[in-house]
Amino acid sequence: MARKQGDMHQTALRLPRELHRKLGKIGGERGMGEEIRRRLEASFEREADAAHDPKLTELQALITDMAGLIQLDSDGPWHSDPFAFEAFRAAILHLLDVAKPEGEVKAPTGAGRALGLNDPVALGRAYAHMELRRAGQPTGGGNG
């Protein structure tokens, strides 16, 4: 039975014991209800993103699958084992090669381009650098 509180509705939900424990632990001070809301909202956002660009969603799933499969044949995950990293990198590059659209690479001519770079490699690296900084991650690497 749902109760309305302002713009919110309270509802009861049956959960398996282990899932209840995990949600409570992850929710911490925010609480289990907030954690459930956060995860539900994120799932709807992922669905909207998937509807907007299904090819990207498919590529993300393939990359996630590759990480798990490569770890089975390595001494650790891609981010801690150099062998697994190189295998993972090769897998991602192959996935991108398979998905590459046909045609000549030409710089876009439309107005409103944020960075205005005409070299696709420079554009990709510039955005990667910006996203790594935004995420608080190192921006170097030196391996290309």
CA angle 20, 57, 140 (to 5 degrees): 95
Looking only at the bridges linking them, the beta strands covering 8-10 and 3-5 are antiparallel
What are the distances in angstroms from CA 69 to CA 36, 84, 126, 141?
30, 10, 30, 24
pLDDT value of position 59: 93
pLDDT value of position 48: 73
pLDDT value of position 143: 47
Contact (Cβ atoms closer than 8 angstroms) between residue 3 and residue 12:
no
3-state helix, strand, coil in the chain (%, to 5): 60, 5, 35
pLDDT value of position 117: 87
- State residue 42 phi and psi, 5-degree precision: -65, -35
pLDDT in single tens digits along all 144 residues of the chain:
555 567 888 888 898 999 888 888 888 888 888 888 888 888 888 777 667 788 888 999 999 999 999 999 999 999 999 999 999 999 999 999 999 999 999 988 876 678 888 899 999 999 999 999 999 999 885 544
Round to whole Å and give the CA distance between 141 and 128.
12
Q: Is the dihedral of CA 132, 116, 114, 60 positive or negative?
A: negative
pTM of the model: 0.63
Round to whole Å and give the CA distance between 81 and 73.
11
Q: How many residues belong to the chain?
A: 144
